[in-house]
Amino acid sequence: MNKSEKNQFLKNVLTIFSGTTIAQIINFSAIIILQRYFYSPEEYAPFRLFFEFAAVFSSVAALRLESGLILEREHNRALSLLRICLKYAVIVSLIGGVVFTFYFINEIKVFQYEWLLIVLMPLAIFSNGIIQISRQFFTRSKNFLTITTSRVIHSTSGSLAQIITGLLSFNFTGLVIGRLIGLVSGNINYVRKYFQKYNWIQKNKTLEKELIQKHNKFIWFSSPGIFVGNSINLITLIFFTHYYGEKFSGLLAAAIQYLGLLIMMFSSSFAQVYYNEIAQIKNPKALYKSYTYWLKRLFVLTLIGWIILVITPSSLLTSILGDKWSGLMDAIKVISPWMAIMFIASSLSYVFIRLEKQKEIFFFDVFHLVLIIITLGLGHFFLNEKNQILYLVTIVQSVFYILSISLAFKFLIANIKNNNA
């Protein structure tokens, strides 16, 4: 990257980062109010389980074909691919709703017999999926202001709705409904911005078949890989809920959410712009240099943040949220190494798509899932103590994400060698 390119890159990152920061500050403020005045860990657990389940299916709503939008330089081809993404999002949302119905019936006590959730699940999957598709579409045209605006609308409307349902004495379903209102509001802004510039997408079967064939690696490898990867948080929460109760699961879910919000504040902003930039880098050495350049800076940023977190008194959150949330800061500190390394790895993970290594990453994600299932099983059998198991999970997760970064280097070096051959 030359100086001009770096300046433009940072400008784009800051555009998204500013909106993401505002959105996350709103989310943080709302969560503190909700947890202090309305909801306990026991009520928070089913809410997070619901949206972790939705996240697994919404992450593959378009079978990852939305990642191909940035790779399409011709506008009519990108619009046809967008149409395919929307069609698949409807189908996957309905399938996810059916699967959730069986899970809900099996865990009906955890969800407090709230049958409305069965109806809301397809809407949650579809709304979340459309947001992901829209972000990629507007990233392609470098319309980062629309992404920023939608995030702020999403956070503001969702947070206000959750607080209102809390005031109306809703149980955890108020959190679910409020979050859905936020998702729908964000999508309305995306739709409005789309039709200000574009017309309805015309069907073109021949072109659609060509696009599906061209991007079939996303369908057959990226999509299953992301599905498997996103299942890990869900499986972890289901495990702790089933064996160690809703309170501990609620504390863990809140810990993951707090750190997740901090990570998303920068990671999603950076990753979207980074993918757009590396998609245009043709020289393998330049791609390698770009990866190492940003890896070093992300490492320094993460280390500073982690040190600040570690020295923060564990009593801080309890004094803010009340005694019912005692233990939350301890849970945050336990999982912080895993989340910190994940932040670095996930911020740069689009390099695998750029190198067309979807197949290899799929098998790596399957290995990740198997590793976590074995870890949880062995931890429960030999340790049978929730805190010790959580420490074990953190160690295994941290090692995995270090391996992920190492794998990226391996592929980047191989790419240089293949180009020189």
Q: What is the pTM of this model?
A: 0.85
- CA R_g for the chain: 21
pLDDT at residue 111 in the model: 82
pLDDT at residue 9 in the model: 64
pLDDT at residue 239 in the model: 94
Integer CA distances (angstroms), 363 to 103, 154, 253, in order: 26, 34, 27
Determine if residue 112 is left, alpha or beta; phi over 0 gives left, psi from -120 to 50 gives alpha, anything else beta.
left
pLDDT in tens, the chain (421 residues): 556 655 666 666 677 677 778 888 898 899 999 999 999 999 888 999 999 999 999 999 999 999 899 888 888 899 999 999 999 999 999 999 999 999 888 887 878 778 899 999 999 999 999 999 999 998 888 888 888 899 999 999 999 999 999 999 898 899 999 999 999 999 999 999 888 888 777 888 899 999 999 999 889 988 998 899 889 989 999 999 989 999 999 999 999 988 988 887 777 667 767 777 787 888 899 999 989 999 999 999 999 999 999 999 988 888 999 999 999 999 999 999 999 999 999 888 888 888 888 888 889 999 999 999 999 999 999 998 999 999 999 999 999 999 999 999 999 999 898 887 6
pLDDT at residue 5 in the model: 59
**How does 28-64 read in b/e, with b if 16+ C-beta sit within 10 Å?**
bebbebbbeebbebbbbbbbbbbbbbbbbbbbbbbbb
pLDDT at residue 179 in the model: 95
